[in-house]
């Protein structure tokens, strides 16, 4: 049906899959993390739900320009990037997999439903799952619980395994501090890291958590 | 329970794609299947099997079934069962209540009416649908299940059941288990079997087969069996016309054909021996035996001849057809 192994996986390479609702900043987080790890260019492997694969090389800034957008469901297939993470004296190779955002309801667009199925498929074999949530919407008043049904479900699904943590993104926006506190209360069992992918803050913590899960 | 385990995550993902499941529901089901997959290495393996190929193999098995001659009622019932299993799986994926699938069956009909063939296809179909793990067919009869001294029977029966786990246990002439009255060991075998139906609830499927009248008496005498075998399939006798079509198909598969005189002789034999009321009535096995014999007799007729043409090698003539298997 689909390729289960994003990219040409090297043996022993760990996979770190980034999931969350649409428009919480998953792609920007992946790219800014690559940048934080001193990657100048990234080879992005696009994996269509149909199994077609395409590799393009970008500089990080070009990738951000091309792949990040303000609309939800900017990312509609798996996009993976291989990065090296310094670990002790050596380096470890990690595949960062960016995914299509998951929604609570049944989405009306077939293409997006396919892409979401692909996301779920990518979650299953992942060693590390990074769950991205939007801290600023979580902190806004009158917006109900800080995270929705799908976030609870992801936490439930992945939380029982090692190598799972939450990134509270968009810490640069208003209300985010309050959102972070709410999220930490809601997901009290696991690490919630404050990050602003746009301003490149909190990435060191993310890297540390990824390393610890390897 | 047999009903649905989210044993096949592909089904869940397909549900999400087709807009039958929301991502929230899909994750809920997958959560359980991951636990399941981690239970054993074999389970984990299965999860990774691409669903498209198993969907394809399912289609193939159903096409095989359709290609069988006659058996219209049986085919309709199989479709019904397949649809029922599918819907139960989807219902479970959508978290609707579903009954555990009881798929034990009783096949009644004369010999050579397609019971074993259908059982084998059921094995394939259920494996591809994720109901059975392996889908193999273990064909047994009284002598394999019943022992010679007290206590031997339960042990023997259990052994055969173990072999059938993950597949189908097909017991031919099952009514013979109840033959011989109270003191017969057959009863012990039935009790062991019923016990196993509870113990290995969703691990295997049992099919009891035999002549129609004898099976009816057997089931009536054993209420424990009737309640646990909800599916009854009757295999009617083949008509002479259907038997001839079966013969044509068998020959075509083997690259042979009948000339007109041979066909007439075959029809004559089938009407005489396999017509209603005879001991071979509706028997496709008789057809196969005649055909195989004819192929050997044709070989004998041709073996001394030089310069054989392609046509000659394919043609079965009147003198090749016989229903005398003693020689």
Q: Please state the ipTM of this predicted complex.
A: 0.81
User: Helix (H) and strand (E) counts for chain A?
Assistant: 7, 8
Structure tokens at B241: 């016309």
Query: In angstroms, rounded to a whole number, what is the distance separating the alpha carbons of residues B85 and A143?
Result: 42
- Mutant choice from A49, A101, A120 vs B, greatest count of B C-beta within 10 A: A120
Q: Considering only CA atoms, which of A120, A27, A105, A42 is closest in space to residue A72?
A: A27
**A89 touches B at CB < 8 Å:** no
Q: Do A104 and B51 touch (CB under 8 A)?
A: no
CB B138 within 8 A of CB B170: yes
**A114 touches B at CB < 8 Å:** yes
Number of domains in chain A: 1
Q: Do A120 and B22 touch (CB under 8 A)?
A: no
Distance between A61 CA and the closest CA of chain B, angstroms? 32
Q: Considering only CA atoms, which of B172, B34, B5, B26 is closest in space to residue B94?
A: B26
Distance between B251 CA and the closest CA of chain A, angstroms? 38
More confident residue, A113 or B327: A113
Domain that holds residue A155: 14-213
**B34 touches A at CB < 8 Å:** yes
Exposure letters A131-152 (e unless 16+ CB within 10 A, then b) = bbbbbbbbbbeeeeebbbbbbb
Task: Say how many C-beta atoms besides its own lie within 10 A of residue B326's C-beta.
Answer: 3
Strand order, beta sheet including A90-98 = A53-59, A41-47, A78-87, A90-98, A14-20, A128-134, A164-169, A192-194
pLDDT value at A147 more than 80? no
A178 belongs to a structural domain: yes
CB A36 within 8 A of CB A211: no
Q: Which of the four pLDDT bands, split at 50, 70 and 90, describes residue A130?
A: very high
**B254 touches A at CB < 8 Å:** no
CATH 3.40.50.2300 assigned to domain B240-320? The reply is no
Task: Say how many C-beta atoms besides its own lie within 10 A of residue A60's C-beta.
Answer: 17
- Give the one of B10, B22, B50 whose C-beta lies nearest to A104's C-beta: B22
Q: Do B23 and A4 touch (CB under 8 A)?
A: no
CB B194 within 8 A of CB B162: no
A124, closest residue in chain B (CA to CA): B34
**A150 touches B at CB < 8 Å:** yes
- State the average pLDDT over residues A9-31: 83
A4 belongs to a structural domain: no
- Give the one of B12, B23, B34 whose C-beta lies nearest to A150's C-beta: B23
* Of the options 1.10.150.120, 3.40.50.360, 3.40.140.10, 3.40.50.300, the CATH number for the domain spanning B9-235: 3.40.50.300
Distance between A92 CA and the closest CA of chain B, angstroms? 26
- Mutant choice from B8, B16, B32 vs A, greatest count of A C-beta within 10 A: B16
Q: Do A153 and B28 touch (CB under 8 A)?
A: yes
Query: In angstroms, rounded to a whole number, what is the distance separating the alpha carbons of residues B292 and B20?
Result: 52
Q: Considering only CA atoms, which of B16, B1, B39 is closest in space to residue B90?
A: B16
Contacts of B22 in chain A (CB under 8 A): 103-106
Instruction: Please state the domain extents for chain B.
Output: 9-235, 240-320
**B54 touches A at CB < 8 Å:** no
CATH number, residue A26: 3.40.50.300
Query: In angstroms, rounded to a whole number, what is the distance separating the alpha carbons of residues B310 and B307?
Result: 10
pLDDT tens per residue across span A45-98: 888 877 778 888 888 888 888 888 888 888 888 898 988 888 777 788 888 999
Q: Which residues pair with A43 in a beta bridge?
A: A57
Structure tokens at B179: 């033959």
Residues 6 or more apart whose Cβ sits within 8 Å of residue A199: A171, A172
DSSP run (H or E) holding A131: strand A128-134
A159, closest residue in chain B (CA to CA): B31
Interface of B with A in 278-317 (CB under 8 A): none
Residues 6 or more apart whose Cβ sits within 8 Å of residue A212: none
- Give the one of B17, B24, B34 whose C-beta lies nearest to A117's C-beta: B17
Residues 6 or more apart whose Cβ sits within 8 Å of residue B326: none
A2 belongs to a structural domain: no
B52, closest residue in chain A (CA to CA): A1
- Give the one of A108, A117, A153 whose C-beta lies nearest to B13's C-beta: A117
Q: Considering only CA atoms, which of B214, B237, B218, B235 is closest in space to residue B226?
A: B218
A157, closest residue in chain B (CA to CA): B31
**Conformation bin of residue B294: beta by default, left when phi > 0, alpha when psi is -120 to 50:** alpha
Q: Do B22 and A106 touch (CB under 8 A)?
A: yes
**A182 touches B at CB < 8 Å:** no
**B38 touches A at CB < 8 Å:** no
Can you state the angle between helices B72-93 and B9-17, rounded to 10 degrees?
80
Burial class (CB in 10 A: 0-12, 13-18, 19+), A200: middle
Query: In angstroms, rounded to a whole number, what is the distance separating the alpha carbons of residues A104 and B22?
Result: 6
Q: Let me know the angle formed at the C-alpha of A68 by A64 and A73, rounded to the nearest 5 degrees.
A: 160
Contacts of A121 in chain B (CB under 8 A): 9, 13
Residue-level pLDDT, tens digit, chain B, 327 residues: 333 445 567 778 888 888 888 888 888 877 776 554 443 333 333 333 345 667 778 888 888 888 888 888 888 888 888 888 888 888 877 777 777 778 899 999 988 888 988 999 899 888 888 888 888 999 998 889 888 888 889 999 999 999 999 999 999 888 888 877 777 888 888 888 988 988 888 889 999 999 888 898 888 888 888 888 988 999 988 888 889 999 998 898 888 999 999 999 999 988 888 776 677 777 888 899 999 999 999 999 999 988 888 888 999 999 999 887 765
pLDDT value at A132 more than 90? yes
Strand order, beta sheet including B105-109 = B137-140, B168-171, B205-210, B105-109, B231-235
Can you state the angle between helices B23-39 and B9-17, rounded to 10 degrees?
170
pLDDT value at A161 more than 90? no
A5 belongs to a structural domain: no
Backbone phi, then psi, for B31, in 5-degree steps?
-55, -45
**B23 touches A at CB < 8 Å:** yes
């Amino acid at each position: 049906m689909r390729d289960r192994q994003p990219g040409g996986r090297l043996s022993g390479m760990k996979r770190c899959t980034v999931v969350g609702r649409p428009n919480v900043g998953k792609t920007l987080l992946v790219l800014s993390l690559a940048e934080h790890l001193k990657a100048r260019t990234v080879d992005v492997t696009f994996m269509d739900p149909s199994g077609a694969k395409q590799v393009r090389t970008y500089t990080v800034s070009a990738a951000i320009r091309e792949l990040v957008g303000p609309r939800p469901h900017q990312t509609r297939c798996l996009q993976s990037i291989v990065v090296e993470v310094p670990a002790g004296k050596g380096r470890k190779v990690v595949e960062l997999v960016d995914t299509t955002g998951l929604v609570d309801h049944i989405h009306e667009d077939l293409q997006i439903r396919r892409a979401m199925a692909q996301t779920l498929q990518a979650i299953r074999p992942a060693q590390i799952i990074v769950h991205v949530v939007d801290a600023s919407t979580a902190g806004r008043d009158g917006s109900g619980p800080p995270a929705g049904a799908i976030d609870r479900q992801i936490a439930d699904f992945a939380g029982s395994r090692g190598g799972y943590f939450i990134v509270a993104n968009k810490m640069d926006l208003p209300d985010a501090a309050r959102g972070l506190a709410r999220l930490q209360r809601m997901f009290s069992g696991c690490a919630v890291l404050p990050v602003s992918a746009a301003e490149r803050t909190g990435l060191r913590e993310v890297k540390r958590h990824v390393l610890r899960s390897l | 329970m047999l009903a649905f385990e989210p044993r096949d995550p592909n089904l869940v993902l397909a549900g999400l794609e087709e807009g039958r499941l929301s991502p929230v529901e899909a994750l809920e089901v997958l959560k359980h299947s991951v636990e399941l997959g981690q239970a054993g290495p074999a389970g984990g393996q299965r999860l990774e099997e691409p669903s498209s190929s198993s969907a394809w193999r399912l289609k193939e098995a159903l096409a095989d079934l359709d290609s069988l001659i006659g058996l219209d009622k049986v085919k309709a019932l199989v479709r019904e069962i397949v649809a029922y299993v599918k819907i139960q799986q989807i219902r479970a994926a959508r978290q609707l209540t579903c009954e555990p699938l009881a798929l034990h069956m009783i096949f009644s009909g004369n010999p050579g009416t397609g019971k074993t063939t259908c059982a084998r296809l059921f094995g394939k179909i259920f494996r591809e649908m994720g109901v059975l793990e392996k889908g193999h067919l273990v064909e047994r009869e009284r002598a394999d299940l019943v022992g010679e001294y007290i206590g031997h029977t339960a042990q023997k029966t259990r052994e055969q059941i173990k072999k059938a786990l993950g597949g189908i246990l097909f017991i031919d002439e099952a009514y013979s288990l109840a033959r011989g009255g109270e003191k017969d060991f057959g009863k012990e075998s039935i009790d062991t079997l019923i016990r196993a139906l509870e113990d290995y609830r969703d691990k295997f499927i049992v099919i009891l087969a035999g002549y129609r009248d004898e099976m009816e008496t057997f089931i009536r005498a054993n209420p424990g069996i009737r309640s646990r075998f909800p599916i009854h399939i009757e295999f009617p006798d083949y008509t002479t016309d259907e038997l001839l079509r079966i013969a044509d198909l068998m020959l075509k598969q083997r690259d042979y054909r009948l000339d007109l005189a041979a066909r007439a002789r075959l029809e004559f034999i089938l009407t005489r021996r396999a017509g209603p009321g005879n001991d071979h009535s509706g028997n496709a096995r008789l057809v196969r035996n005649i055909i195989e014999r004819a192929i050997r007799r044709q070989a004998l007729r041709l073996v001394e001849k030089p310069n054989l043409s392609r046509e000659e090698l394919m043609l079965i003539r009147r003198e090749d057809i016989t229903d005398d298997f003693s020689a």
